[in-house]
Amino acid sequence: MTKNTGSIVHESLDALFEDSTFLPELQNEEREKALRSIRSILSTPNHVYKSFLRLPLNNGEIVRIPAFRVQHNNILGAYKGGIRFHETVNEDEVINLATLMTLKNAVHDVPFGGAKGGVIINPRNFENEELNLICKKYVRYFSDIIGPDKDIPAPDMGTSEREMDWMMAEYKSIHPGESYLGSFTGKSIVNGGSLGRKTATGKGVYYSFRYMLYDFLNQNKDWLGSQNNQYANKLIALKNKPLNIAIQGFGNVGSIIASEAFRCQYLENKIIAISDRNVTLFHSGGLDITKLINYTQGNYGDLPKNEKELEKANISAKIMPRDDLLTLDVDVLFLAALEDQIHINNMNNIKAKVIVEGANSPITGKADLFLNKKKKIIIPDILANAGGVIVSYFEWMQGRDTKFYTEDEVNNQLFEKMKKTFEIVYPKYFSDHFSLRENCYIQAVMKLSIVLYKQGKLY
């Protein structure tokens, strides 16, 4: 895991305590008391629900499947967060992810709180009929605590639009006559899903990078130069430079990052390496991303993994061991596969100058500290991969109004929302000593604290 979310929240509060512009009306003992109060509110979830879903299997066996819903905080709006179907998911992980959702929504000013769900199964071990029943039971067992104005789940690892459609249908049956389109997001388009939802995370990840390396850098070059800040100097050194890029993961998030980078007119990008669960493909002259996306679409999502498949895909590339991608000499490394990919054993060999987190927690806490000491620019998950939850918010609004946006409208609103966050956190990052991750946490905790204080909840 990346440095525990809770401990970064504590560090953010310490930083805010010293900041005289933060809640200046609170002084001395009152200030200490308020900060203690925020600390306890944010470091514990409001509710942890656990049930054992009873499931008759097709083979006649009956099993009880542990399932969770954690509601961390709803001061900014209804609880919101995905449901993960995975055999290793556990209560602590779900609490940590729910906390991250509270902070992600706060930093991007999305009017939702934070929640997360988990079901301890490997979905590959179940028939479709059984998975359908697991989804229905999840909704039945937690039907009192979810709903469009209470808690709105979405897909996560092991779940997709199919499961959200099933769950919404069950919610509708349990609550006849009530509004139901906003009860789940990440649904299929015909069931009230949003155009642009599938590509939103990858597009947002790439935009967080492009905005920093192009828009922000060009608009603020002189200001950056005057900051005497090592991160700012590293950024200036990349101005107008051709950029060699490596992307770990070529699924929903990684392939969209690749296609955005491939056709970006603002930066001189060359994608020299991509990887998936099997291989790394390398070409110093740049890989043909369009051909590779076409190939994976007809190959269960997998990249060509041997010479024969490369030939079939009509791709020139060198095949390398999968994890070699991480330590290649590139300017930019996008991480869009799994958590804990950069860790104590490989952190010394990371050469990329900029690292962008498309996946959640792809850098361990120790590696994060180490890379920040080396002044690598890291665009963290909380900032970069929020496109999914932002477009989920648009989906929820469209469901309420039963009025749907075009894909361009969704994308433009997504970029507009993310840009507003970048305009707050990028100038801070390039002018103080905190990492970008810490700056995002400080911003999120500040927003939550001020709202709590103004609602009279800091007693």
> What part of residues 345-374 is at the interface with ligand NAD (CB under 6 A)?
358-360
CA-based max dimension of the chain: 71
Sheet of 79-85: strand order equals: 47-56, 62-73, 114-119, 79-85, 151-155
> What are 237's two structure tokens?
């050194």
* 185 lies in the binding site for ligand NAD (CB under 6 A): no
Nearer to ligand NAD, 220 or 280 (CB): 280
Binding mask 220-259 for ligand NAD (x = CB under 6 A): ----------------------------xxxxxxx-----
Nearer to ligand NAD, 192 or 380 (CB): 380
Positive or negative, the CA dihedral 81, 86, 90, 93 is negative
* 337 lies in the binding site for ligand NAD (CB under 6 A): yes
Residue closest to ligand NAD (Cβ): 251
Nearer to ligand NAD, 94 or 446 (CB): 94
- In the complex, the smallest distance separating the C-beta of residue 382 from ligand NAD, rounded to whole angstroms, is 10
Active site residues: 116
- In the complex, the smallest distance separating the C-beta of residue 438 from ligand NAD, rounded to whole angstroms, is 20
Sheet of 279-282: strand order equals: 318-321, 279-282, 269-275, 243-248, 332-335, 354-357, 377-379
Nearer to ligand NAD, 385 or 443 (CB): 385
Span near ligand NAD by CB under 6 A; candidates 103-111, 139-147, 274-282, 438-446: 274-282
Residue from 170, 276, 288, 368 binding ligand NAD (CB under 6 A):
276
Residues 69, 115 contacting (CB under 8 angstroms)? yes
Sole residue written with tokens 């070409």: 283
H helix count then E strand count, the chain: 17, 12
- In the complex, the smallest distance separating the C-beta of residue 117 from ligand NAD, rounded to whole angstroms, is 14
With vertex at residue 446, the alpha carbon angle to CA 13 and CA 116, rounded to the nearest 5 degrees, is 90
- Would strands 114-119 and 62-73 be described as parallel, antiparallel, or unpaired? antiparallel
Binding mask 186-225 for ligand NAD (x = CB under 6 A): ---------------x------------------------
**Residue 143 burial class via C-beta count within 10 angstroms: exposed 0-12, middle 13-18, buried 19 and up:** middle
**Residue 265 burial class via C-beta count within 10 angstroms: exposed 0-12, middle 13-18, buried 19 and up:** exposed
- In the complex, the smallest distance separating the C-beta of residue 336 from ligand NAD, rounded to whole angstroms, is 5
- In the complex, the smallest distance separating the C-beta of residue 168 from ligand NAD, rounded to whole angstroms, is 18
Residues 205, 418 contacting (CB under 8 angstroms)? no
> What part of residues 384-403 is at the interface with ligand NAD (CB under 6 A)?
385, 388
Nearer to ligand NAD, 57 or 315 (CB): 315
Give the separation between CA 258 and CA 270, rounded to whole angstroms.
10
Nearer to ligand NAD, 262 or 434 (CB): 262
> What part of residues 141-180 is at the interface with ligand NAD (CB under 6 A)?
157
Nearer to ligand NAD, 347 or 359 (CB): 359
Sole residue written with tokens 């991969």: 385
Span near ligand NAD by CB under 6 A; candidates 71-79, 332-340, 436-444, 445-453: 332-340
* Residue 361 DSSP symbol: S
Residue from 105, 194, 275, 398 binding ligand NAD (CB under 6 A):
275
Give the separation between CA 381 and CA 336, rounded to whole angstroms.
10
Residue from 315, 319, 320, 338 binding ligand NAD (CB under 6 A):
338
By the criterion CB under 6 A, which residues form the site for ligand NAD? 157, 201, 248-254, 275-277, 322, 336-338, 358-360, 385, 388
